[in-house]
Chains A and B, each alone.
Chain A
Amino acid sequence: MSQTMHIMRKDLRRLRWLLALGLAILVARTLLVVNSGAAVDSVATGLLMQQMWGTLAVVELLLMAVIGARLVHEEPLVGLTPFWLTRPYGVGNLLGAKLLLAAVFLLALPVIADLVMMSRFDAGPQALAGTAATAALGYGSWMLLLILLATLTPSLGAFVLTIVGVVAAASMLMATLLGVAEIRSAMRTEIPTYTPPGAPDATRSVVMIATYVCATLTVVVYQYRHRRWRVAAGLAVAGLAATVLAPMLWPWSFARGEQIPPGAWASTVVVRHDPSWGTQATDVFNVSRRTRETWRRLNAHIMVTGLPPQVTVQWVGIRSRLQFPDGTAVESSQSAGFADAFNARSAEAALGARILAAPEFFKTQRERWTPMLTITGQELVRRRGRSGRLEANIDVFGTEMRAVGTLRLTPGVSLAQRVAGLEIVSVQRGPDSRNVVVRRWRTTSPISLAPAPQQYFALRRRSSSEALMGGVENRWQVGGRPTVVMALLRIPFGFAGWGSGGFSVETMHLRFPGRGYEPSPLDPSWFDDAELVVLETRPAGFVSRRLTIDPFGVPAT
């Protein structure tokens, strides 16, 4: 242990300026978020802060890379001439010193900085724990990758070139895989099918993360013990392959969540066919290049009734069979969008109030054709003008809009959720409107089973049971990871999500009613007892219904 501390003290001294710079950036970004409220009234300052955050995040990432590399290269593991090779170092002590120092500066301190930022927003223990875990995973993954690359290179220059090479190779690999997938898709002769989604499952993510951590640690430990960089590089490539393949081949699920129960609407929902629309044939975008054959969809007008008003059908999955009188039949399965996820009806139900002003798309519920069958162009020619009996199993996926919080229209009032929160920063009165600045923070996890909810804002006047939908005039964000950083993090890992998330704060300038919402003329006193209502849309589960259409006519043209 004393040798570990001795090596650490030497490294601390050696890297003191870099580490000080890293700490300064951590402090700067923490202060930026903590003081982001100072810019709430100035869009320009807010956007400048957003830009500064992005710059700091990129600099922090690059600095982490340099610190990781310099730390390992103090005692390089590649080459025959380093001073330390012939000195009585304990390999365990050396590895321990490097990992300990890296863990403190590349993992623990950034996580603490994230938590300090959150503490400004009165985050609860669940949010703090979630953020700590998410941040530790993101920073830890990046730290391990840096340490691994540093153990395979003799110097900072070689390290940078290796990163460039790895990024280029990963990009080429991704492009190749995408190209192969594209070609396979283009060459396929069978029509794509629909499969009902299973319960949300984090097993693959967990397996991938565990494999990645094990693989990188194995390479690092091997290189410290044996100093054979070719073998270690081979192990690293094998580890990368294992990280990609293990989740695909993993045989059982241990982190599956529950299917979202649809609730009471499961027993009342009815799926009907509206024969007045008839049937319609449309092209499917995909074209098989091998067979030069188009796929066609046969559509009908389907109506779903019996839903509670706050629930809308966002999309449907259909497995169908069309039986012709001569005994022949065609089968297919497909999914399609059904209606917009939000509309005035569901919002009014969630608010318990009549909406006086809302965006145009909010007010109208568009009716659409629903694809009941997918067949080839040749099949359509063969069957055109004929009728048969269509039997379908339709999965109806609901989206529920609900009010998750009501806030008095007063600065400083806040709403705390599990891993998110919101506070009103300022309220400005206009003759026929209110401008409200809110700050919203949230933490997202790469292994979260639930997607982040969509939020909408309304002003509600309880006394008259009326409401106005708000529009977002401006918004900026500090925290989270900017696009460039996300792109850099995604390249080595090869998939979206990992390294994403973390803690972020978004400032929004809301106007009630939103511009162009064409409100009814309002008395200025309307706003006096108005309150801010936060609406969210969330998946509401799905139900299956059988539907028979007889006759179902194949269009003649």
Chain B
Amino acid sequence: MDTVIDVTDLTCRYQQVEAVTGISFTVAEGTVFALLGPNGAGKTTTIRALMNIIRPSSGEARVLGVDSRRLGRSELEAIGYVSENQQMPRWMTLADLLAYCRPFYPTWDDTLCRKLVDDFRLPLDQKIGRMSRGMRVKAALVSALAYRPLLLVLDEPFSGLDPVVRDDLIHGMLERAGEERWSVLISSHDLEEVERLVDAVAFLDSGRIVLSEPMTTLQGRFRQVEVTESGPGPALGLEESWIGATQTGRVLRFIDTAYSGPASDDRMAAKFSGARIEVQPMSLRQIFIALVRHRRGQGQESVQ
């Protein structure tokens, strides 16, 4: 299997509202794929459709080679799912939860389970309902990782957690996923944390995919550019791939979304002759913010 998730023209509608409109993306086996987007972008809806929690209105999503509408017991035995909104059985202790989950999974690994509990420093005898939010997410993760899933689906797992817990989780989960070559689909706002680990991203906004590509190419083509003229302000007339331009006095700032190294440097030098041009690589967070602002300010076209 080359891809663990293959989404084609997926649309999800609640009553009259389209939460997700015709999105397509693929998640390759053994990679970590991040689904990014502002609140209400459609990330959770997409993941729910993938997990057969809701039925897509049209289009298709295949998960582990099976139509998501037909996702059944055998597929769910190979999928770990953790969501910020998941209703855990609050009356169970962690030990109860793990003992209850264990018979559902033929591949359950007690050694790994104990190690995860130790790594996350979780108390086995504490009821889930009395755990802090961070501990509950960790407990959910243990119960989703202990059977070595082929695919891990995480819906905003870090939302609202303090930095220490977040760090614990990322080290305990995503790095382990990398070690074990698990495939991971994650939606998150914690872009800086995710950035270190993801192989590919898709940006969702207003239910549509803005871009979907590997991290390497994404970070390679986005640059923050600052142009400082020695005389009066630089002439406007920016290229189409330069977005988010702002000018303060003699300083012009914009983002080049199609940066290609020396060729782009030469083109900018020609455009702003005599000016000092600084070109900086961008973090995932900066790219995300720039894209969202651009779409909100300029309309909703795709930035490819």
Residues of chain A having any CB pair with chain B under 8 Å: 2-3, 6, 10, 14, 74, 76, 79-83, 85-90
Q: Is B53 an interface residue (CB 8 A)?
A: yes
Establish whether residues B104 and A3, one from each chain, have CB atoms under 8 Å apart when the complex forms.
Answer: yes
Q: Which residues of A contact B72 (CB under 8 A)?
A: 88
Question: Can you list 10 residue pairs at the A/B interface with Cβ under 8 Å?
Answer: A2-B103, A80-B48, A80-B85, A81-B83, A81-B86, A86-B81, A86-B86, A88-B73, A88-B76, A88-B77
Establish whether residues B73 and A85, one from each chain, have CB atoms under 8 Å apart when the complex forms.
Answer: no
Q: Which residues of B contact A80 (CB under 8 A)?
A: 48, 53-54, 85
Q: Which of B48, B74, B86 contacts A83 (CB 8 A)?
A: B86
Establish whether residues B89 and A83, one from each chain, have CB atoms under 8 Å apart when the complex forms.
Answer: yes
Query: Inter-chain contact count A-B, CB under 8 Å?
Result: 45
Size category of the B interface is 20 to 34
Interface residues of B in 34-85 (CB under 8 A from A): 48, 51, 53-54, 72-74, 76-77, 79, 81, 83, 85
Q: Which residues of A contact B53 (CB under 8 A)?
A: 80, 85-86
Q: Which of A6, A14, A76, A85 contacts B103 (CB 8 A)?
A: A6
A441 to chain B, nearest CB (A): 43
The main secondary structure of chain B at its interface with chain A is: mixed
Residues of chain B having any CB pair with chain A under 8 Å: 48, 51, 53-54, 72-74, 76-77, 79, 81, 83, 85-89, 91, 100-101, 103-105, 153
Q: Which residues of B contact A2 (CB under 8 A)?
A: 103
Establish whether residues B85 and A87, one from each chain, have CB atoms under 8 Å apart when the complex forms.
Answer: no
Residue of A nearest to B104 (CB): A88
Q: Which residues of A contact B74 (CB under 8 A)?
A: 88
Q: Which residues of A contact B83 (CB under 8 A)?
A: 81
A10 to B104, CA, bound (A): 13
Establish whether residues A83 and B76, one from each chain, have CB atoms under 8 Å apart when the complex forms.
Answer: no
A88 to B79, CA, bound (A): 9
Establish whether residues B79 and A86, one from each chain, have CB atoms under 8 Å apart when the complex forms.
Answer: yes
A296 to B93, CA, bound (A): 78
A227 to chain B, nearest CB (A): 9
Most chain B beta carbons < 10 A, residue from A14, A81, A88: A88
- 6 smallest A-B Cβ distances: which pairs? A86-B81, A88-B76, A88-B73, A88-B77, A81-B85, A81-B87
A82 to B88, CA, bound (A): 7
Q: A88-B73, A88-B74, A88-B76 are in contact. Are A83 and B87 (CB under 8 A)?
A: yes
A341 to chain B, nearest CB (A): 60
Establish whether residues B103 and A87, one from each chain, have CB atoms under 8 Å apart when the complex forms.
Answer: no
Residue of B nearest to A76 (CB): B87
Residue of A nearest to B81 (CB): A86
Q: Which residues of B contact A14 (CB under 8 A)?
A: 91
Establish whether residues B101 and A85, one from each chain, have CB atoms under 8 Å apart when the complex forms.
Answer: no
Q: Which residues of A contact B73 (CB under 8 A)?
A: 88-90
Establish whether residues B54 and A83, one from each chain, have CB atoms under 8 Å apart when the complex forms.
Answer: no
Q: Which residues of B contact A86 (CB under 8 A)?
A: 51, 53, 76, 79, 81, 86, 153
B50 to chain A, nearest CB (A): 10
